Amino acid sequence: MPTFSAAQLSAWYGALFWPLARVLALFSVAPIFSHPSLPIRVRVALAIAIALVLAPGIALPSIDDVLSAPGLLALGRNILVGVILGFTMRLVFGAIEMAGELIGLQIGFSFAGLINPTAGQPQTPIATFLSLLATLMFLAIDGHLMLIHALAESFRLFPIVGGDALPLAPEQVARLGAGMFSLALSIALPLISVMLMINILMGVMARVAPQLSLFAIGFPLTLTTGMGALFVLLPYLEAPIRTALERGAAYWLR
């Protein structure tokens, strides 16, 4: 009967533990992988499979070092890298959902808020629609595979042991936040411009024909015009959304 020493078992456990911690941290934040519709058992099984594939090419410390001060520091840094990888991609989806919120607010869909299961807060139907569109587009461009590739590259850029560079510097956080608002505004601006012209038109109508009830005709007019403008402009929104998703998925592929 074969026997195994404690050192061998420690090496085997460590070979799975260290990459698994980073993969699970990524799965807790990244789009698609963190969606509530994906069962937890499936996420854990997929994370273990990815960790087993990545483990042979990674320099791994011993599992006995986890409870020491350097081991806890390495574990915290490992988890932080995984969370930041998913956070950068989550920002892109957040920008697209923010654009949907701005469009829905201008059209008048803010009265029909839905519960977004991902964010756990009310969300307009337009934001939900753009979020689903971004999810399908993300899968179509193999963004989930690019994200896993970036995860594999992260072990080279930010190894588990050694290396003092922060995964994300404060100025990069500010730059990503600014890019999120810029992307949301660039997607929503065409629809906002159309609705601004409609509001100006209704203001002129209120001055020319005061007997018209804007409360009676305003909401149907803005809703109909907004949905028609969204239908016409939707093909032109594909390019900026696709570009943003590709850049977000390949952000760490240097």
Sign of CA dihedral 111, 114, 119, 120: positive
Arithmetic mean of pLDDT over the chain = 76
What tens digit of pLDDT does each residue of 151-172 get? 888 877 777 766 555 556 666 6
pLDDT band at 253 (very low <50, low <70, confident <90, very high): low
Q: What is residue 4's predicted lDDT score, i.e. its pLDDT? A: 47
> How far lies 246's CA from each of 97, 142, 203, in Å?
17, 9, 42
With contact defined as beta carbons under 8 Å apart, do 99 and 184 qualify? yes
pTM: 0.76
Distance CA 106, CA 110 (A): 8
Domain spans, the chain: 6-249
Q: Would you call 206 helix, strand, or coil by DSSP?
A: helix
Specify the range with the lowest mean pLDDT, choosing from 27-31, 133-137, 139-143, 211-215: 211-215
What tens digit of pLDDT does each residue of 83-121 get? 888 888 888 888 888 888 888 878 877 655 555 555 555
